[in-house]
Amino acid sequence: MLINNIGIFKPNTPLREKDLGELSREFNFNVFSPLALTQAALPHLAKAQGKGNVVFVSSINGKTQVPGAGNYCMTKAAMDMMAKMLALEESANKVRVNLVSPGPVATEMLWNLPGTEGKSMDDIRGMLGKGMPLKRIGEVEDIGRACFLLASEDSGYVTGMDFIIDGGATLLSFVHEEH
C-alpha cells in the first residue's frame, strides 16, 4: 500500500501575475513528487497479487475555483487526473488506485488561509466549521480512516474512485465577493 499525502498551499497572486518558477515548484511538489514515489512503488505493488493499491490525498479544491488559490487548484486537478489514469493503466497489473479529496481539515495548512493569522486551531475550527453543513471541519483521523478503507480488502473492487470527504462543503454554493 502507498498513500500519497502531500500538498503545499500558499495563497497567491492571480495566475496572470504568477511567477512560472514558483508555479513549477508547486507542480513539482504537489504532482511530480507523488508520481515519482508511485512509479518507484508500482513494481512492488504489482507483485502483491491483487492486493497492491495506491491512495492519493487530493482536495475538493481540485474540482472548483478558489480565488487566490489558482495554483493549488490546478495542481490538485492534475493529481486527480493522474490518479485516474494510473487506475486505468495499472488495472492490468491488479493494482488499485484511488483518491481521497478532503475539504477543510484541521492541519497547519489552514493557517495559510486569509483571516486565520494568529488564531488558534480551535478558533479556526469554530470559524470554518460554522459554515459547514455538518458544523465542523475535518480532522486528520477522518481522512486517515477513508484512506485505510480504500486500501483495505473491503474496497477490493474499487479503483479510480474519488472519495470526497468534506463535511458537505461541496453541497454548498460558495459565493466569493472578491474577484
Task: Please list the active-site residues.
Answer: 72
Cell of 71: 495554483
CA distances to 34, 62, 81, 125, 176 from 41, in Å: 10, 24, 19, 36, 41
What CA–CA distance (Å, rounded) separates 115 from 113?
6
What CA–CA distance (Å, rounded) separates 115 from 60?
20
Helices marked H in 47-177: 70-90, 121-129, 140-151
